Amino acid sequence: MRIVFMGTPEFAIPSLEAIVSERHELIGVVTQPDRPRGRGKHMAPPPVKEWAEKRGLKVYQPQKVRDEGFIAELESLAPDLIVTAAYGQILPKRILDIPPLGCINVHASLLPKYRGASPIQQAIMDGEIKTGITIMYMDIGMDTGDIILQKETLIHPEENCGSLHDRLAQLGGEALKESLRLFVNGKPQGTPQNDEEATYCQKIDKSMGRIDWNMDVDKIKNHVRALTPWPGSYTYINDMRLKIWEIGSKEYLQEGEVVPGKVVYANEKQGLVVAASNGRVRLSKVQAPGKRVMEDVEFLRGNKVEVNTILE
């Protein structure tokens, strides 16, 4: 098949590789424009562009996918199929109607749950024990199209968003590979989603990182897991913005009065332990401004934290 691929971040790379491994003709790669990146804010290409240019593929980077000139160029390519994976823009109907076999998307959830921009983070935040990949036909709705194929995976109890993202990216490539084989004899029939079971997730931004100590132990742990490595969870301790990379797996029983956000232990034996609404959590890996990530006991050696300090 003649395929146009549309995607932007690292998540999309295994899907690109699946298309190539199945020996389809990759006639064009569409990705987001270069953006400022890093502390120096230098312009940098998205990962999909870097991958495509190394292989001599034609790359398109429209500011807006609805641009008339871009749509005309896409029509001239005459793709049989368009494949998207974390592209970052919603495709208009004019593009959806171009390929005779349709447009399909690699989505990182078991639809109809977690439609939208942050399915990996939201699944962890909600304490889900499983997730997966859905290959679906695209329509004018937000992740509402018919399902072609799904693959499940368990979410490990200590897994954060970064590690789950990488596993789902690989699973997405495997699922896409299987799905492309279904097109050998024409356009496969999809299964409609049950809209009554649909849930949606919002776009993640940095403001969501601040920990609310009035949450219970499980919610705090899931909050940190979901937002690690980006945008990161944090709290304020003695006016220092402390980034929290990991919540210890040890359970601390509630003992006496609990004041959410109060430091209960701060020593080399118990580590840095803070009260939540229904118990206590250990901030086992932390990062002070301008410093590397370190164990809580190492942080405490260089930073005096008094018991009964209230984190904000």
pLDDT of 101 strictly over 70: yes
Place of tokens 């690109």: 16
Given a contact cutoff of 8 angstroms between Cβ atoms, the answer to whether 59 and 31 are in contact is: yes
CATH of domain 213-302: 3.10.25.10
103-107/59-60 β-pairing: unpaired
Q: pLDDT tens-digit profile of 227-283? A: 999 999 999 998 899 999 999 865 555 565 679 999 999 999 999 999 998 888 999
DSSP string, 282-309: EEEEEE-TTS--EEHHHHHHHS---TTP
Question: Shortest CA distance to 168 belongs to which of 8, 6, 7, 12?
Answer: 12
Tokens of 156: 């490990």
Q: What is the largest CA-CA distance in the chain?
A: 71
Tokens of 34: 């270069």
Tokens of 86: 């974390």
Among 129-133, 165-169, 250-254, name the one with the lowest average pLDDT: 250-254
What's the pTM? 0.94
d(CA 266, CA 54): 51
Question: Shortest CA distance to 217 belongs to which of 252, 243, 187, 184?
Answer: 252
Q: What is the pLDDT of residue 255?
A: 60
Q: Where are the domains of the chain?
A: 2-201, 213-302
Tokens of 57: 């593929």
Q: For the chain, what percent of residues have pLDDT higher than 90?
A: 88
DSSP letter at 159 equals: -
Residue 49 bridge partners (DSSP): none
Given a contact cutoff of 8 angstroms between Cβ atoms, the answer to whether 41 and 34 are in contact is: no
Pick the CATH number of 2-201 from 3.40.605.10, 3.40.50.170, 3.40.630.30, 1.20.58.410: 3.40.50.170
Q: What is the pLDDT of residue 252?
A: 58
Q: What is the pLDDT of residue 251?
A: 58
What average pLDDT does range 87-107 have in this prediction? 97
Q: What is the pLDDT of residue 278?
A: 87
